[in-house]
Amino acid sequence: MMERATAPSRLARGTSADDIVLPFGTVKSRVSGRIVRLGPAVDSVLAAHDYPDLVSAILGEAMALTALLGHPLQAGGRLILQTKTDGPVGFIVIHYDAPGAMRGYASFDRQKIDQLSRSEAMVSPNDLIGAGRMAMTIDPGGSLSSHQGIVALDGGSLSDAAHAYFRQSEQLPTFISLAVARQMMPGIGSTASQWRWRAGGLIVQHVPRLGGDPRPDETPEERDTRLHGEDDDDWLRVSTLASTVEGHELIDPSLSPERLLLRLFHEEGVRVGDETTVTARCRCSRERIVGFLRGFPVEDLADMREADGAITVKCEFCSASYRFEDARLD
């Protein structure tokens, strides 16, 4: 059973199911979630950098995860997901500006990535990320204060780190699945078919009863440290259903998010809300770069100048270059 909260089915409208986050809840059980499907948004970010495939894949996963986590923010809010590790991909940063603008980049050791690319062994997230930490900085916007959560990255995946975050910060049972791959996408009109990056993800969380899920025999200390609802029958059933999702289903352009939700949770009943459009959008501009450069002392600016006296600044997020010909930085 599929119900929609406020809008008609996207299948009936015949519009694209790409670059959206779709919130949902199960009717019979207290579980809420979101599903993300990224097509042109993730491909445009990755194409701007021309990263090796291994780096693009892990950055695409990070974009899908950030879209899932940033979706609940109100307009004007921001989520920054950042990793810093000792692995070949030593640094990842994704900015999500509600309601759906994203940008991101990664820094990596090309020699180590090339070695992994030539290896015949299966490359795991641990091989790419290594050990370190993942930080999530949340700025709700307006007058509300921002806060940051930091979790360890110790050989697992980005979704493992996100699970640890929810365990520590909200004590809610959470299931997360992420997928990313390049697929041959058919051309439109005279445009030839091309390989394009796609990414997707699913998150489901238990929604506690009003007043929590108390146990008669537990102490206050035990209640504060356990995950609320981790042994709830509804949660166990729905999380088991969620675990049957396959990576190719999360990125399949022919499988709409609604149809996937029906496949997973049709016995529970699914109620979906309005999707949020996700776009690749950088905030850099010539004016911002000028303001940044004018913060440097004159002698530092002199060191930045090229042989012809110009200064060129390249945006790490979108790879756009800004060239300033003279000392006025116009």
Omega before residue 99 within 30° of 0, cis: yes
**Residue keyed to tokens 């940033």:** 70
* Per-residue pLDDT band at 14 (split at 50, 70, 90): very low
Domain with CATH 3.55.30.10 in the chain: 2-280
Which of 215 and 253 is assigned the larger pLDDT? 253
Angstrom CA distances, 210 to 207, 213, 214, stand at 9, 8, 10
CATH fold group of domain 2-280: Hsp33 domain (3.55.30)
- The 3-state DSSP class for residue 55 equals helix
Rg (CA), the chain: 22
79-105 pLDDT, tens digit per residue, is: 999 999 999 999 999 999 999 999 999
> Mean pLDDT throughout 269-279?
95
Nearest alpha carbon to residue 66 among 162, 157, 174: 162
Is the model's pLDDT at 52 over the cut of 90?
A: yes
Q: What's the whole-model pTM score?
A: 0.87
149-204 pLDDT, tens digit per residue, is: 999 998 789 999 999 999 888 788 899 999 999 988 876 666 777 899 999 999 99
294-330 pLDDT, tens digit per residue, is: 889 988 988 999 988 899 999 999 999 999 887 667 6
Lowest-confidence region among 171-180, 227-236, 257-266: 227-236
Query: Within its chain, how far is the Cα of 259 from the centroid?
Result: 22
Q: Under a CB-based contact definition with an 8 Å cutoff, are residues 182 and 195 in contact?
A: yes
First vs last C-alpha separation in the chain? 60
Whole-angstrom distance, CA of residue 207 vs CA of residue 314: 45
